[in-house]
Amino acid sequence: MTLTATGPVVWIDGRIVAPDEAMVSVYDHGLLYGDGIFEGIRVYGGRIFKMKSHLDRLWAGCEAIRLTPAVSRVELERALREAVAASGLRDAYIRLVITRGKGSLGLSPNHCPRAGTIVIVDRIHLYPPEMYAQGMPIIVAKRPRIPAACLDPAIKSLNYLNNILAKVEAIDAGVHEAIMLNVEGFVSECTGDNIFTVKGGQIATPPVTAGILRGVTRRFVIDTLAPALGLKVAERPMRLEEVLAADEVFLTGTAAEVIGVSSIDGRRIGSGSVGPVTQRLEAEFHRIVRMEAPED
């Protein structure tokens, strides 16, 4: 396959290739053991949205698992821009992956002399468009979130099996997402999104200590979107009962953006459709990213 004028491309270890020509070794520890770090990043109007925040988190994750990228941060930024330009896509989704690299069989990362670097530029449509207008039904997973003392959810590693098994519960229930509770019974996050509630016009979201990923879109809502609308967000522990009693519930994520929740475990949330605060936040999100898509 040859590269098309507009379409998916892969930057892999210094080369831009078509997706079906991108290959990694079967001895790569990212494949064998889930040993690596990844980021999902949006591109709006050709601009890489919150690139600095994503790379900050990527570098922190690599440091946490003692993984040294094979490229510098400057080189990686250049690779992201080169891949986006090569794709010809103005609006796209980037999957950035740093693997431990090719090594021998066995867990030791010391047997992998060079980390692998992969940049995928493609499109993504996580949820059906009608759910952004009508709200999304979700469930509560029976499987709890892995405690941070065992595997810190703040590290966006290639090991996502905890999330995937909760996602399977959602699929079995005929929905797209599931709320995950931590082992103390507090609300943590969903399988791929952060969660917010609105009650009496007040917005709240679980804190990092609840065992969540430090979502870039979550932080964008807290620091930028909510203040722009004269709203504040409280980061505090919350029980499931509080979420079920909320006027509105919405989810955030790089791929999901901002999406309202209509019901949880078949129980209607608020009016059973996307609430007014969620609608305002979603509209402000799209206004900002279409106007400037800040890269910081």
All structural domains of the chain: 9-122 (3.30.470.10), 129-291 (3.20.10.10)
Which tokens hold the place of 179? 């709320």
Catalytic residue status for 156: yes
Calculate ∠ Cα 153-156-157, nearest 5°.
100
- pLDDT value at position 29? 98
| Catalytic option among 50, 102, 142, 156 | 156
Rounded CA-CA distance 180/214 in Å is 15
Which tokens hold the place of 120? 């995928």
Q: Which amino acid is at 45?
A: G
Yes or no: say if 264 and 272 are a contact pair by the CB < 8 Å rule: no
Among 190, 139, 184, 126, residue whose Cα is nearest residue 160? 190
Whole-angstrom CA distances from 55 to 38, 61, 194, 260 are 10, 10, 19, 28
Which tokens hold the place of 289? 């990213």
Rounded CA-CA distance 181/106 in Å is 33
The two beta strands, 233-235 and 202-205, are parallel
The two beta strands, 36-44 and 92-99, are antiparallel
The residue with tokens 């608020």 is 270
Rounded CA-CA distance 177/154 in Å is 19
- pLDDT value at position 1? 45
- pLDDT value at position 57? 97
Rounded CA-CA distance 138/262 in Å is 8
Among 261, 283, 279, residue whose Cα is nearest residue 270? 261
Yes or no: say if 54 and 46 are a contact pair by the CB < 8 Å rule: no
Rounded CA-CA distance 231/173 in Å is 34
N- to C-terminal Cα separation, the chain:
35
The residue with tokens 């530029």 is 121
Rounded CA-CA distance 228/241 in Å is 29
115 by DSSP, 3-state: which? coil
pLDDT tens digits, the chain, 296 residues: what are they?
A: 445 568 999 999 899 999 999 999 999 999 999 999 999 999 999 999 999 999 999 999 999 999 999 999 999 999 999 999 999 999 999 999 999 999 999 999 999 999 999 999 999 988 999 999 999 999 999 999 999 899 998 899 999 999 999 999 999 999 999 999 999 999 999 999 999 999 999 999 999 999 999 999 999 999 999 999 999 999 999 999 999 999 999 999 999 999 999 999 999 999 999 999 999 999 999 999 988 877 77
Rounded CA-CA distance 143/211 in Å is 14
Rounded CA-CA distance 275/173 in Å is 24
Number of Cβ within 10 Å of residue 54's Cβ equals 22
